[in-house]
Chains A and B, each alone.
Chain A
Amino acid sequence: MSDTGERGPALLSRLLSAYGMVGVLVLLAVFFSVATIQEQQPGGEAAARSVARALEATTLEGTTVVIIGRGGEEDARFADTLARRVRERTGVPPLVVTGDPADARTALGRLADQGVTRCVIATTQASAEVVRSILEPLPALAGARVVTPASYRWPTFLLPENLRNVANQIAVIAILAVGMTMVIVTGGIDLSVGSLIALAAVVTASLIGRMGGEGAGTGAMVLGGAATMALCSGIGAFSGLMITRFKVPPFIATLAVMQVASGLAYIISEGRPVYRIPQSFVLLGRGADPVLGIPWAVLLMGVLYAAAHVLMSRTTLGRYIYAVGGNAEAARLAGVRVAAVLLFVYAACGALAGLGGVVMASQLRSGAPTYGLMYELYVIAAVVVGGTSLSGGEGTIPGTLVGAFIIAVIQNGMNLTHVESYTQKVVLGLVILGAVLLDRLKQRGVGRLGRSQGPGG
């Protein structure tokens, strides 16, 4: 028996299983970063800083500085920042024009009429063309310089907006995947989560609609979300009851619940989207925290993952979940309340699906019975890509997070590189297959080592 000779390979395989998928995620991120490197036009403050740097070499005394931007928040920030910089240097506030090209034309026309010749026009790349076309028929301003922010080469994938986008896209799937991981670790499966998203979105929207509609207060929205989660948790517990009490296979029980939940979503909404939700409700799905700019949905996801990881690795309940998945009969004979563990897991999975539905309703500011279609498959894919075994007993919460991100990065990356949506499906399917194959190969390697250690006699 090789009590010592086993350590090296065992450690290696543990590292592989813990970080293998992280490596894949990093490689994907690097790949899509390289593939999406292109000229980037800065906007907002960055654009203002760039223009200010370009103007440093120019004497601005006796020169009229005009800042032209379009309407919109980003251009407003560009204009404000740049205006402040210019005033600090010259002491004279520049002329700021934001809005339609017509506004810019009027302003520049007035300058030409006033006989201004020394003139610097700062604008964004996007508006530069328009500005130049306005200047053409104004010979008085032929000497005017048009300054735009310098463009730079940078991967579109790595732009902060895009990363935020990836995180937002994945939030719902990732939240559901927490519950699904627990279910799959017990050796089960929950096919009803996609339908529960739809049901939760419809129920939340309807409840908020009843409690004041567009004028509903924060309390009503929180209450609506909580009641929805409780309902979905109850539905999950119902699946759990069918599985534990009546020994219905999880696949069948949750397949039935999937149909029922979807049907209920259509009945409640009468087949139409429910819109009567206050604007403030979108804070959960689209808003971001004011300090670091991290979306609330992503923060919520992070908190859930941390809590679930602690639950699975540090609490007795977590240990029991693994034991039930590894060998339910042995767990029962060791005194574990197997039925209670399963009931908890399915109820938690339902509650998290309900939360996912609330987040989605918030992102889309409506609830419709068509939401969450096929989501159960994306969620299961994320869990499996994250290294959880469908036969139960093994898998980790951080692994699932990595799995969810792998799927999100691939989807986002393919969007950025303009891969057709039909092709995307094919690629995604192959990725899932590849992840599972990788896992199998790894396990076969470990299994071979493990056998060598078994009793020889």
Chain B
Amino acid sequence: MPSPRNEAAPGGAAPLLRLEGVRKAFPGVLAVREASLDVRGGEVHALVGENGAGKSTLIRILTGAHQADGGTVELDGTPLRWTSPLAAAGAGIAAIYQELDLVPPLSVRANLFLAREDAPLGFIAAAQERRHAREALSRLGVDLDPGARVGDLDVAQQQLVAIARALLAEARLLVMDEPTATLASGDVERLFAVIHELRGRGIGILFVSHRLEEVMAIADRVTVMRDGSTLGTWPAHELTRERLVELMVGRPLEQEFPKVRVAPGVEVLAVRDLSGGRVSGASFSVHAGEVLGVAGLVGAGRTDLARLIFGADPVESGEILLDGRPVAIRTPRDAIRNGICLLTEDRKAQGLVLGLSARDNFALANLDRWSPWGWVRRGKELSEFERFVAGLRIRVASPEQPARDLSGGNQQKLLLARWLERDSRVLIFDEPTRGIDVGAKHEIYLLINELAARGKAIVMISSDLPEVLGMSDRILVMHRGRIAGEVPEAAAATQEQVLRLAVG
């Protein structure tokens, strides 16, 4: 078992960034208790930990969004205390967040030079900017037109623009917060190539991710955080994935994918030749008690397929059958009334009304059932809510707590509770564990098992291949809007097998 070490940088070089005993409290909560780590130039340093471990707060301190209450932050041996994100950027620290801070209607070039325009007398030196932009992009090995509108690019390309912007700002330390969460595997490889390139140029990279395979693949060293404190830093090659999970959760973890197989029952949902949006000619069926995994690259049309079935987007042709009978689904309301529900991939934009309370969010899809005359039965609402909070172990301070303030795992459970209260028979999960920590993931898996055991038909879309393989009974693989193939026995399948289908 390796023990934590904080060995001096090779050749005695001072680390680029050093955090020592950093502490940060918010009213009523000590978010960071004691954090120490150092990042060297030319190193990929991974920071891992469960949600709530204090990673985000630590990052916000680094990037100037929060100020530490105690401890020291040193950049190149100089103690620093920046009071704003701008000051941190000026010191050479750039951050790539999950939600990229780009301006979608502007061009790539305009975004790259935003607030840093070379503009004598207020006139932008366009030709010069365009040249610099091309240089910066090609240095990253990215082939992008500087004139393209950022809103037209896909997430992976946008991320590269954000990285190029950091390079142009001469960042020396790049903080990447879950950079791969929204990327398909091909794009992840490209991102990793870019990270290697940056490392080669002596830039220090602090890489925060839930995806431990990626951490193991890219990191030179790994720092683990738990309950607001850093446990220590280890060279990545001395760690195994299992050891890392144990360090994060503080106890040996049971099997990662606790899949329980249920004998499939009758066919519940069937789709025949469904086309619409990016999807064309999709046919498949799901049985009661079955978990149907849907794999594929981002943009393959998996989410579109789910939205078609749910009535969120218009169907061009084909039919949807429930219990063998065709049903007309034109709106999400129709789908819900037929017992189909969709847990959207983007919980914040499409699942929750963030400003409303947990109770309101839970009740939203159920009010019409409880309240035949349009009168909200508050007692019923509250008792049902409490029942699910206890049953699904949702951590809420009170029913009135805004959904915004819940952690990712609890938000997901809250949405699940909403649909379970509705007694849906077909549950479509789109990226059910995205951005959720290891412990909460495990709980979601157990719930999926339980739902299957109760005879629900489950469709699980996921970009996390081990998850699809580990939790499905059967796997559909999509490629360019079509169902490229089916893997009948998920348990016996390999990642390569699925990937081969996914890339066409």
Residues in chain A within 8 A of chain B (CB atoms):
1-9, 314-320, 322-323, 326-327, 329-337, 393-394, 449-457
Knowing A1-B395, A5-B28, A457-B51, say if A316 contacts B367 (CB, 8 Å): yes
Chain A residues near B354 (CB-CB < 8 A):
326-327
Bound Cα distance from A316 to B376, whole angstroms: 6
Partner of A335, one of B353, B365, B404: B365
Query: Which chain A residue lies CB-closest to B349?
Result: A329
A319 contacts B398, C-beta separation under 8 Å: no
Residues of A with C-beta under 8 A to B378: 314
Q: How far is the CB of A341 from chain B (nearest CB, A)?
A: 12
Residues 332-344 of chain B, each 1 if its beta carbon lies under 8 Å from chain A, else 0: 1100110000101
Chain A neighbourhood of B408, CB < 8 A: 455
Contacts of B367 in A (CB 8 A): 316, 319-320
Given A5-B29, A9-B27, output 15 extra A-B contacts at Cβ < 8 Å: A1-B395, A2-B29, A6-B397, A9-B28, A315-B375, A330-B352, A333-B344, A335-B332, A454-B405, A455-B407, A456-B52, A456-B54, A456-B57, A457-B225, A457-B437
**Residues from chain A with Cβ under 8 Å of B363 in the complex:** 319
Task: State whether B356 touches A322 (Cβ < 8 A).
Answer: yes
Closest to A453 in B: B405
Contact A394:B418 (CB < 8 A) given known A319-B376, A333-B332, A457-B56: no
C-alpha spacing A5/B360, complex, angstroms? 22
> Is B368 engaged at the interface, CB distance under 8 Å to the other chain?
yes
Q: What are 26 A-B contacts with C-beta separation under 8 Å? A: A2-B27, A3-B397, A6-B405, A7-B398, A9-B28, A316-B367, A316-B375, A319-B367, A322-B360, A323-B360, A326-B355, A326-B356, A327-B349, A327-B352, A332-B332, A335-B336, A336-B364, A451-B26, A452-B29, A454-B405, A455-B51, A455-B407, A456-B31, A456-B52, A457-B50, A457-B52
Interface residues contributed by chain B, number (CB under 8 Å): 57
- Counted as pairs of residues, one from A and one from B, with CB atoms less than 8 Å apart, the total is 145
In the complex, A455 Cα to B395 Cα: how many Å? 12
Chain A residues near B54: list those with CB within 8 A.
456-457
Other-chain residue from A319, A332, A456 in contact with B55 (beta carbon distance below 8 A): A456
State the Cβ distance, A23 to closest chain B Cβ, in Å. 23
CB distance from B249 to the nearest CB of A (A): 12
Residues of B within 8 A of A5 (CB): 27-29
Is B402 an interface position by the 8 A CB rule? yes
A452 in contact with B375 given A3-B395, A322-B360, A333-B312 (CB within 8 Å): no
Residues facing A in B346-382 (CB within 8 A) are 349-356, 360, 363-365, 367-368, 371, 374-376, 378
**A456: contacting residue among B51, B312, B332, CB under 8 A:** B51
Complex Cα spacing A103 to B500, Å: 112
Contact at B350–A333, with CB atoms within 8 Å? yes
Knowing A335-B332, A457-B52 touch, does A314 contact B375 (C-beta < 8 A)? yes
State whether the Cβ of B448 lies closer than 8 Å to any Cβ in chain A.
no
6 closest A-B pairs by beta carbon, nearest first, are A5-B28, A452-B26, A2-B29, A326-B353, A2-B28, A457-B51
Query: A322 to chain B: which residues have CB within 8 Å?
Result: 353, 356, 360
Within 8 A of A (CB), among B372-426: 374-376, 378, 395-398, 401-402, 404-405, 407-408, 418
Q: Check: B310 CB closer than 8 A to any chain A CB.
A: yes
Chain B contacts of A330 at CB under 8 A?
349-353
Q: Looking at A4, A326, A334, A456, which has the most chain B CB atoms within 10 Å of its CB?
A: A456
In the complex, are the beta carbons of A335 and B333 less than 8 A apart? yes
- Whether A329 touches B350, Cβ cut-off 8 Å, given contacts A5-B27, A456-B56, is yes
CB <8 Å contact, B57 and A334: no
Pairwise interchain contact A4-B353, C-beta atoms closer than 8 A: no
> For the complex, is B53 an interface residue (Cβ under 8 Å from A)?
yes
Closest chain-A Cβ to B447's Cβ sits at a distance in Å of 19
Given that A7-B397, A315-B374, A317-B374 are known contacts, is A457 also in contact with B49, CB under 8 Å in the complex?
yes
A4 to B56, CA, bound (A): 21
Residue of B nearest to A336 (CB): B364
B228 on the interface (CB 8 Å rule)? yes
Chain A residue, CB-CB nearest to B365: A334
Cβ–Cβ < 8 Å partners of A317 in chain B: 374
Question: Chain A residue with minimal CB distance to B58?
Answer: A456
Chain B residues with CB under 8 A of A329: 349-350
